[in-house]
Amino acid sequence: MSGRTDDLAQAAPKPSWKAFWERGGWWKAVVLVVAYYVLYQLGGLLFLPFEDGLEPSSAGAIIVGFALPIALGGLLLVAFALSLGWLRELFAPQPIRGRGWMWIAVAVVLVFNALRFAALDYDSAGLDLVAAWLVAGLCIGFAEEVLTRGYVVNLMRKAGHSEIATATVSAALFAAMHSANVLTGQSVFATAIQVLYTFAFGICMYLALRVTGNLIWPILLHATTDPSIFLLTAHPGIGPLTAFAGFGNIAVILFGLVAIIFIRGRVTPASQPSNEHEAERSR
């Protein structure tokens, strides 16, 4: 009797809102990223009055101008996950295994993040600014990874796309969000370099997701990346370590772009019958 009840429960139609997203698709990923970006920008306006009187680049300005707006964006993403019942799914173990070579992505990002923190002039920066950037970095890492390596990857896999397409689309949408910086006065050249870097970094975060098996690790890697870059740029130490740490972005770009061609695999959507959880193993 209980088996029949379970069958009937599985056969019951899902609410249209959830059913729409459960079918996945790359264009739904685009819609979601655009909607998030618009809401994030609008949400940031709520904190503008609190920035008055704060010294630019101070700890307070970092918290109000960076951490709080993107923390609000992260809360919106959590609310969206709860509406779909996806919160546990997003942080569940990955349905496809990574390969040993993918650890290189983790090592490249982690090593250069550590080098940048080691090369930082802490006396110039001040511990309060460092702490503020670490808080902001955690908010950035959570929101941007949940969006791109969580939702986008999930939507691509639900539509049956290959893992190379999943990695590329998630990285491309991640980079596209940063292309809007040109609208804030950043030069076209600087924005183009940033887009190239964020695309390659997105590939590295996808590889980190695959090889560690859980979304929490790309979040933490990402959380240490932005603070290390911004702090070292504004408060570089003196010595060869600073110069060497500056090659981190180049290393990420080179590895990320080359790594794309080695990505393999495809996750069989749950809606498709299969005796194997993975239709094709990654190499």
**Cα separation of 152 and 154, whole Å?**
5
Whole-number pLDDT of residue 271: 62
Q: Which helix (H) or strand (E) holds 266?
A: strand 266-267
Cross-strand partners of 162: 266
Q: With 90 as the cut, is the pLDDT of residue 162 above it?
A: yes
Q: With 90 as the cut, is the pLDDT of residue 186 above it?
A: no
**Cα separation of 132 and 197, whole Å?**
24
| Average of per-residue pLDDT across 227-235 | 96
| Average of per-residue pLDDT across 76-99 | 96
3-state secondary structure of 12: coil
Q: With 90 as the cut, is the pLDDT of residue 89 above it?
A: yes
State phi, psi for 242 to the nearest 5 degrees. -65, -45
- The per-residue pLDDT of the chain, averaged, comes to 91
| Average of per-residue pLDDT across 218-225 | 98
Whole-number pLDDT of residue 183: 82
| Average of per-residue pLDDT across 248-266 | 97
| Average of per-residue pLDDT across 242-269 | 95
**Cα separation of 273 and 283, whole Å?**
24
User: pLDDT tens digits, residue range 39-79?
Assistant: 999 999 999 888 888 888 899 999 999 999 999 999 999 99
The crossing angle, in degrees rounded to 10, of helices 216-234 and 103-119 is 30
User: pLDDT tens digits, residue range 98-148?
Assistant: 999 999 999 999 999 999 999 999 999 999 999 999 999 999 999 999 999
